[in-house]
Amino acid sequence: MEQPWRRRRLDIGIALALFIAALAVYNATLTPSLSYESPDGNELITVAYTLGLAHSTGYPLYTWLGKLFTLLPIGDVAHRVNLMSAVLGAGSVAVLYLLLRHLTRPDRPGGAWATRASLLASALTALLFAFSRTFWSQTTIAEVYAPNALMVTLTLGLLLRWGRKLEQGEHSFLAPFCFALVFGLSLGTHMSNLGFAPAFALFVLLVGGRRLLSGRWLLGAGLGFLLGAAQFLWLPYKASTLTDRMMLRSAPNTLEGFYRYTLGAFPQFKFAFPLAAIPDRIVIYLDLLAQQYGLWGIGLGILGMWVLLFRRPRRFFLLVGMYLVHVWFFIQYRVFDLDVFFIPAHLLYALFIGVGTAWGLLRLGRWAAQGGWRWALMGVLTAGMGLAVVHQVRANWTANDHSEDTAINDFYAHVWEVLPEGSVLLGRSGVFGYDMFYWRLVYNVRPDVVLPHLPTPEPRPQALAGRPIYTTMRLDMPQARRGPWALPRDLVSPDAWYIPILVGGGGAGSRERPGQGLVLYQVSRTPPDLVVTDAKPSTRVDASLGGLTLVGYDLAESTVEPGGLLQLTLYWRVEEPGRYLIVTALGDRTLETHELGFGNLQRYVQERRPPREGVVVESYAIVIPSTLERGTVPLQVGLASPWEAVSQTGMVLEEIAVR
């Protein structure tokens, strides 16, 4: 049997190695700065730096931890908060390994094979979770889910440690206090952790029984939880900093508002499906689970539950109770990013997989011992499971590699340069406006430019009077007029024209915000010169691209720098009426996609009635991704399907030298 001190040293060493391996991969795929990969990430970054108040449920612990990471001398502020997800996510992998060792370590002396089976199953299962698709995706961006995974594993580890002390007859004030403290703190990374409380209580009752009536234990647990939950006093303290109209409706500066901001937040999402829809929702969850571990992983997890039931029934009821409550709640949760809410369930299922794997290895070892080739089997199994981890990394790398997602930074670097002095910049408000607010609140960029959303969620036309107006969203579109973050209808004249000035280039792995790309519009009372009869492009093409003819183009220069601008004018003749999406690309990298005329063409034709033989002129500057490799690449223009922003027909204009 292993000596306790040697076993601890070995486990700590392996846990540290797993932490380093996971962190290395997460850091290699980390988002450099701001990103649209998370709908809330840009807000969470800014709030962490300013020590403000995030959207419901407030996330005070996340905010404080994020503030600590903003003090690191690495990259910009956004990069540092992204790094927090990588570091804490890797930490959860290390703690997961230690949890697996607790569950798979044999109760009785089992020889070297039993120990190695536990070590192998624990380490490789932790890596399978580390590089599972959904969890990995959250370790590369600023979001609450990777830090929350660490809090869940720490809470569970401290509870199991307390349970072991109870089973050994030890009486301790510190064990229940530490468990309850971390449990209370975990609510500051995700409030849904409160749903684990029934399973925690059942486990403690099964282990401790009547001994729990001891005032010392009750006092320790109660005091620890209250101390951890006291973090939510941050909400009323910071309620005055809210500028989000939706959040202000339930501002946590009253008892009712406090409840609506925390436990009562987002009631429209909870239990949103009838019972008849539950089978379909379960199928959706099982599909998400299969994406993480495959069908073989699901099978090993079921085996692990069976093994726990008969060998460690108390821990079975704890883990299965946590798992079922979490899954039952979130299969009835109506959100577009449902996959990330199941991360704690995926973590718990990894524990079942590890237990099932360790049991299977132990049985195979006993069978192989009869033939005297047990250690050869161990080598084969180690190699096989290692290949499974490598396959997991390779299969999910492309989807989770955001290391070149610089689209927001590249775009706004030029926005702040082109805006005239004393101008107004409008955009999305509330949580989704922090791609713009970040620059003012963190770095105080261009203080002369008025951002009407920041002082108040209800900007008035008077704040815009006499100033040139620019916007990153068309205010005449339906999405700008609907929802809790809609702008006031009288903010800008309904007759205004939106003339594109600057178009953001897509970084590799970047995701544009839903419904629109990165575009800076000038708000004008007069229409653009959109259709002309005497088009004189500097380069004549006359190429038919299916319904449109590219008459020609103007290109300011054929040499650009990464992160620079490409000034382009395209001349189009419409041969067949229809909706056309224009795609520009450099090599195999799509720069931008827009509707012909940037949404102005239909109105222009109705109001100005240009001649049928007129040529549509589009003139704008495209931001070149700062991660573009140097060399010579072809500039391409093509048409895409309105439903898929991928070029279907196109042509090369000329070669562009990237310096």
- Burial code of 553-573, b = ≥16 C-beta within 10 A, e = fewer? bebeeeebeebbbbebbbbbb
- Burial code of 419-444, b = ≥16 C-beta within 10 A, e = fewer? beeebbbbbbbbbbbbbbbbbbbbee
Question: In this structure, how many other beta carbons lie within 10 angstroms of the beta carbon of residue 245?
Answer: 17
Q: For residue 47, give both structure tokens.
A: 């709030």
In 131-214, which residue ranges form alpha helices assigned H by DSSP? 133-138, 145-167, 174-186, 197-208
Give the pLDDT confidence of 626-652 residue by residue, as tens digits. Answer: 998 889 999 999 998 665 545 567 789
Check residue 214 and give its pLDDT: 65
DSSP state of 505: P
Cross-sheet strand order for the sheet of 644-658: 559-560, 644-658, 631-641, 581-586, 589-595
Give the pLDDT confidence of 205-226 residue by residue, as tens digits. Answer: 898 876 666 667 788 889 999 9
The neighbouring-strand residues paired with 622 are 503, 566
- Specify the residue for token string 């109770």: 321
Domains and CATH numbers, the chain: 4-400 (no CATH), 404-526 (no CATH), 528-659 (2.60.40.1930)
Q: Flag whether pLDDT at 4 surpasses 70.
A: no
Q: Flag whether pLDDT at 509 surpasses 50.
A: no
DSSP state of 534: S
Asked whether 117 and 361 are in contact (CB, 8 A), the reply is yes
Residue percentage of the chain with pLDDT more than 90: 68
Q: Flag whether pLDDT at 189 surpasses 90.
A: yes
Asked whether 321 and 327 are in contact (CB, 8 A), the reply is no
Check residue 385 and give its pLDDT: 80
- Specify the residue for token string 């992983």: 297
Report the distance separating Cα 90 and Cα 95, nearest Å. Answer: 9
Q: Flag whether pLDDT at 2 surpasses 50.
A: no
Asked whether 74 and 266 are in contact (CB, 8 A), the reply is no
Q: Flag whether pLDDT at 23 surpasses 90.
A: yes
Q: How confident is the model at residue 187 (pLDDT cuts 50, 70, 90)?
A: very high
Question: In this structure, how many other beta carbons lie within 10 angstroms of the beta carbon of residue 495?
Answer: 10
Q: For residue 541, give both structure tokens.
A: 């093409």
Check residue 374 and give its pLDDT: 63
In angstroms, how far is CA 285 from the centroid of its own chain?
A: 19
Give the pLDDT confidence of 283-335 residue by residue, as tens digits. Answer: 999 999 999 999 999 999 999 999 999 999 999 999 999 999 999 999 999 99
Q: State how beta strands 531-532 and 615-623 pair.
A: antiparallel
Check residue 310 and give its pLDDT: 93
Instruction: Name the 3-class secondary structure at 489.
Output: coil
Tell which residue, 581, 585, 583, has the closest CA to residue 635: 585
Check residue 183 and give its pLDDT: 98
In 370-485, which residue ranges form alpha helices assigned H by DSSP? 374-400, 407-418, 434-443, 478-481
Tell which residue, 124, 127, 146, has the closest CA to residue 135: 146
Mean pLDDT calculated for residue range 132-136: 97
Q: Flag whether pLDDT at 656 surpasses 60.
A: yes
Q: How confident is the model at residue 372 (pLDDT cuts 50, 70, 90)?
A: low
Q: State how beta strands 559-560 and 644-658 pair.
A: parallel
Q: For residue 443, give both structure tokens.
A: 């770095």
| Helix, strand, coil abundance in the chain, percent, nearest 5 | 55, 15, 30
Mean pLDDT calculated for residue range 432-444: 94
Check residue 642 and give its pLDDT: 63
Residues 6+ apart with CB under 8 A from 463: 424, 450, 452
- Model pTM above 0.95: no
Q: Flag whether pLDDT at 363 surpasses 90.
A: no
Q: Flag whether pLDDT at 410 surpasses 60.
A: yes
Report the distance separating Cα 634 and Cα 570, nearest Å. Answer: 16
Q: Flag whether pLDDT at 376 surpasses 80.
A: no
Give the pLDDT confidence of 450-495 residue by residue, as tens digits. Answer: 998 887 777 888 878 889 999 998 888 776 666 667 777 778 888 8
Mean pLDDT calculated for residue range 592-598: 91
Residues 6+ apart with CB under 8 A from 607: 527
- Angle of helix 343-369 versus helix 77-104 axis, rounded to 10: 40
Question: In this structure, how many other beta carbons lie within 10 angstroms of the beta carbon of residue 514?
Answer: 10
Mean pLDDT calculated for residue range 350-366: 90
Tell which residue, 569, 550, 581, 597, has the closest CA to residue 646: 581
Burial of residue 607 (CB within 10 Å: 0-12, 13-18, 19+) is exposed
Q: Flag whether pLDDT at 513 surpasses 50.
A: no
Residues 6+ apart with CB under 8 A from 111: none
Check residue 508 and give its pLDDT: 45
Check residue 514 and give its pLDDT: 39
Give the pLDDT confidence of 60-115 residue by residue, as tens digits. Answer: 999 999 999 999 999 999 999 999 999 999 999 999 999 999 999 876 655 677 88
- Burial code of 310-336, b = ≥16 C-beta within 10 A, e = fewer? eebebbbbbbbbbbebbbbebbbbeee
Query: What average pLDDT does the structure give for the chain?
Result: 90
Amino acid at 495: D
Kindly provide the residue ranges of all beta strands, DSSP E only, lying in 504-614, ordered along the sequence: 519-524, 531-532, 539-544, 548-555, 559-560, 565-574, 581-586, 589-595
DSSP state of 490: T
Bond prior to 559 in cis (omega within 30° of 0): no
The residue length of the chain stands at 659
Q: Flag whether pLDDT at 588 surpasses 80.
A: yes
Mean pLDDT calculated for residue range 518-541: 92
In angstroms, how far is CA 616 from the centroid of its own chain?
A: 39
Tell which residue, 79, 191, 97, has the closest CA to residue 145: 191
Check residue 181 and give its pLDDT: 97
Q: For residue 19, give both structure tokens.
A: 């932490």
Check residue 194 and give its pLDDT: 97
Phi-psi region of 460 (alpha: psi -120 to 50; beta: other; left: phi over 0): beta
The CA-atom distances, in angstroms, between 163 and each of 173, 179, 187, 307 are: 13, 10, 22, 19
